[in-house]
């Protein structure tokens, strides 16, 4: 029998802070063939027995994340905030384990760590799941497997995610390696529909072979042993690569249905119909076709509207899975679900930019009255935040408004050359800096005001927690159109270069 294990990852002070929120009794994880939901005498693993984590005991115990996070003074404060809001929806369990491997492509690097994370539907497979994947022409092998699973229309029961190696265009048979890991998961959990009900994801170095044997024989069995049905926090933490901190968002609906999302990604971030890696879990019963439509809509307005470095990953994946535990009857509750899903995806997207490799400032570009489609408006926003000159100016708190206006003009000239821009207004920090074809610059006082706005939005690019949610605010109003969009982007710092100059180690 596999028992739920308490999660140990915080300092004793943080544990003491969180203990009252999770002062329940642990239960066995269900879903393995022949397993019962008996209450087990689970060891506390460093915590008092009365403070062991529990299996979805009471919705009243769960908190939700805010649409905009508060400021944080420390990593412990941030993780405590996420932990309090990390309760899993009914019918889910997660478990992680770490192993090691020696890359065949670079054996002199020696043994390297690799993590495997399992997300499991404890009461059986679900047909109600949806996904979107990268459109990169060189997709990872897990993307090929995932597309096949989605096209088949068959149910899934378990997700397996590994970091360190992305299994993209590697030597050998990458698809077979992914399937080997899926088979190990199906065997360890005795899944009714076998490996076809397992959805794989991989992230990490491109071009390396997936260490399928190490994952299948060592990591997967121990990740199954670690399954617990209390918190999504450990999964959010263990899917990270160069991320500096975990990302998690949650929302409880008025009927008690719960949605929780986790995401990873810090570099190679400019998605196209997907995100880096994001997993959204819900106990709301929503039909597959509606889930797919809602997810695609939410992704377009969130993950497809961000950019850290302009590079689209080969492994981008966004998945939503329902355990079908809470009925969703009526149009109003479905509208509430759609709104909550959009909020979670938008929050995670902004978190990914803030956690971007070397990010010292987050830029938020709000576009109004654009003369074109939503896709074109988002492309304009990404063009602005991807301008190397403007990114560097923002990094240095230099309000070089010429670079901003030039980026807008460059895009419009290349892609919307026949549109009228004579009435366009551009703002920085809420102050108009360009209007009807002319700069509006009024001396040293305005220069200082704009620079102070940038300084106020600055964050520590190596910090292991998000200090605040402030952004460098950029507004672009074309007046003549009717399309709006919001895009988030990152500045360019020395830290970004340092991280990516030594990524593989």
Q: Return the HEC string of 185-203.
A: HHHHHCCCCHHHHEEEEEC
Residue 228: beta bridge partners? 94
Residues 6 or more apart whose Cβ sits within 8 Å of residue 289: none
User: Residue 37 to residues 42, 55, 224, 257: CA-CA distances in angstroms?
Assistant: 13, 10, 16, 21
CA atoms within 13 A on the CB side of 235: 34
3-state secondary structure of 292: helix
Strand bridging mode 438-439 / 112-121: unpaired
Residue with tokens 């001396």: 443
DSSP for 347-369?
A: HHHHHHHHTSTT---EEEEEEEE
Cα–Cα nearest to 361, from 254, 207, 467: 467
Burial class (CB in 10 A: 0-12, 13-18, 19+), 354: buried
Strand bridging mode 112-121 / 158-162: antiparallel
Q: Report the residue count for the chain.
A: 505
Query: How far is Cα 360 from Cα 460, in angstroms, rounded to an integer?
Result: 6
User: Residue 208 to residues 103, 254, 394, 396, 424: CA-CA distances in angstroms?
Assistant: 7, 46, 35, 37, 48
Other beta carbons less than 10 A from residue 315's beta carbon: 25
3-state secondary structure of 248: strand
Tokens read off for 134? 């990268």
Are 214 and 114 in contact by the 8 Å Cβ rule? The answer is yes
Residues 6 or more apart whose Cβ sits within 8 Å of residue 452: none
Strand bridging mode 472-477 / 317-326: unpaired
**Alpha helical stretches, state H, 441-505:** 444-457, 494-501
Catalytic residue among 117, 134, 275, 282: 275
User: Residue 154 to residues 69, 147, 157, 289, 376: CA-CA distances in angstroms?
Assistant: 37, 12, 10, 13, 35
Tokens read off for 45? 């693993």
Query: How far is Cα 299 from Cα 304, in angstroms, rounded to an integer?
Result: 6
401 is catalytic: no
Phi, psi of 473 (to 5 degrees): -90, 120
Active site residues: 275
């Amino acid at each position: 029998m596999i028992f739920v294990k308490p999660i140990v990852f915080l300092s004793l002070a943080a544990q003491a802070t969180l203990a009252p929120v999770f002062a329940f009794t642990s239960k066995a994880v269900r879903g393995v063939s022949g397993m019962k939901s008996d209450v087990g005498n689970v060891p506390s693993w460093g915590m008092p027995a009365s403070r062991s984590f529990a299996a979805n005991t009471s919705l009243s115990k769960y908190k939700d994340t805010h649409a905009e996070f508060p400021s944080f003074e420390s990593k412990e404060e941030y993780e405590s905030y996420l932990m309090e809001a990390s309760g899993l929806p009914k019918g889910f369990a997660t478990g992680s384990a770490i192993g090691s491997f020696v890359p065949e492509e670079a054996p002199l690097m020696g043994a390297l760590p690799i993590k495997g994370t399992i997300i499991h539907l404890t009461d059986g497979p679900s047909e109600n799941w949806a996904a979107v994947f990268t459109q990169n022409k060189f997709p990872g092998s897990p993307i090929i497997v995932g597309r096949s699973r989605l096209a088949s229309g068959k149910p899934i029961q378990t997700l397996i995610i590994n970091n360190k190696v992305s299994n993209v265009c590697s030597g050998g048979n990458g698809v077979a390696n992914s399937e080997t890991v899926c088979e190990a998961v199906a065997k360890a959990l005795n899944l009714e529909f076998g490996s076809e009900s397992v959805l794989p994801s991989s992230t990490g170095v491109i071009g390396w072979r997936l260490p399928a044997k190490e994952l299948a024989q060592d990591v997967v069995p121990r990740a199954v042993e670690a399954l617990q049905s209390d918190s999504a926090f450990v999964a959010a933490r263990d899917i990270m690569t160069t991320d500096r901190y975990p990302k998690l968002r949650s929302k409880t609906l008025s009927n008690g249905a719960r949605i929780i999302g986790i995401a990873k990604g810090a570099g190679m971030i400019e998605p196209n119909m997907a995100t880096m890696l994001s997993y959204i879990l819900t106990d709301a019963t929503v039909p597959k076709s509606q889930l797919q439509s809602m997810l695609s809509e939410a992704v377009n307005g969130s993950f497809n509207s961000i950019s850290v470095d302009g590079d689209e990953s080969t492994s981008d994946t966004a998945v939503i899975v329902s355990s079908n535990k809470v009925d969703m009857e009526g149009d109003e509750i479905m509208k509430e679900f759609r709104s909550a899903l959009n909020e979670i995806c938008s929050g995670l997207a902004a978190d990914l930019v803030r956690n971007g490799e070397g990010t010292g400032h987050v830029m938020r570009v709000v576009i109004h009255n654009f003369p074109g489609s939503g896709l074109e408006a988002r492309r304009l926003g990404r063009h602005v935040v991807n301008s190397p000159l403007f990114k560097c100016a923002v990094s240095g708190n230099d309000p070089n408004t010429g670079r901003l206006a030039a980026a807008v003009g460059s895009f419009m000239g290349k892609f919307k050359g026949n549109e009228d821009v004579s009435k366009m207004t551009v703002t920085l920090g809420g102050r108009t800096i360009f209007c009807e074809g002319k700069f509006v610059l009024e001396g040293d006082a305005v220069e200082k005001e704009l620079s102070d706005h940038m300084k106020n939005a600055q964050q520590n690019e190596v910090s292991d927690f998000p200090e605040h949610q402030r952004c460098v605010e950029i507004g672009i109003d074309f007046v003549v159109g009717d399309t709006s969009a919001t895009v988030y982007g990152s500045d360019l710092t020395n830290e970004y270069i340092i991280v990516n100059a030594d990524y593989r180690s």
